[in-house]
Structure 1
Amino acid sequence: MSQINPYLNFNGNTEEAFNFYKSTFGGEFTALMRFGDSPGCEDMPEVEKNGIMHIALPIGGNVIMGTDVPKSMEQVTFGTNSSICVSVDSRSEADRVFNGLTPGGKVTMPMEDMFWGDYFGSFIDRFGVLWMVSYNPNETK
């Protein structure tokens, strides 16, 4: 396993929050994707298309990541506003971690290849913790 990083969910103010974090920690965003630029979001309300689908800010050897939760989805509350993102070194390690932690929980997105290049899945474990498992074959570890 290479990294475990926090993934934060916001009700429409991700960009504001991450600019605030950037003003303290410095650095540059390594990813910034908006809903309107993403496949499958064409029918999203116009007001939500400018929302942040994914943003990443390196801090030291780790990365803090985040997203806006569109108003058309269930809004986040304390306890559902963060996930643990596990970035692994292989597809087999991604499957091992995913399959090891999902029993008794609820899979929200099965492991599959994503349009952004990662092999990715997410779930809520049996203790209510939100997890994301990600393998990017193009990243050098």
Structure 2
Amino acid sequence: MSKIKFYSVNDKWGEFSNFALYPIKLDGKIWPTSEHYFQAQKFESITYKETIRKSSSPMKAAELGRSRRIKIKKNWDKVKDNVMYKAVYAKFTQHEYLKEILLQTLDFEIIEHTENDLYWGDGKNGKGFNKLGKILMRVRDKIR
């Protein structure tokens, strides 16, 4: 099977990154990126969610989301894949341009190629779970 690997927003297929600057509308609000939305959903605090939503960049949103000064939801590990799916689905259905790019991948395997994430990406040695890539492929199958 042919593979598409992505990571940086500045590289080919960079639109697949959650850091790509495509706003999404979810839960009655506009989120600057899918990363902003995903990171905010870790928390119960509405105030902290808004802080993340209004943060200046996806990197800042990720930093705020990784903070453990604010308590994360008890069930976060159980729901995080569904939250990611919801964000990615919104992104690729709310932007026609992105939808077309995703459909152009045909049946290729989509891989978030990163050394520092074994869960969402393929990890340093390619043995990671690649959950983001799998979600992108699920979204592609659904919008076909």
For this structure pair, what is the TM-score category when the shorter chain's length is used for normalisation?
under 0.3
TM-score (norm 1): 0.24
More strand by share: 1
Which of the pair has the greater relative contact order for Cα pairs under 8 Å at 6+ separation? Answer: 1
TM-score (norm 2): 0.23
More helix by share: 2
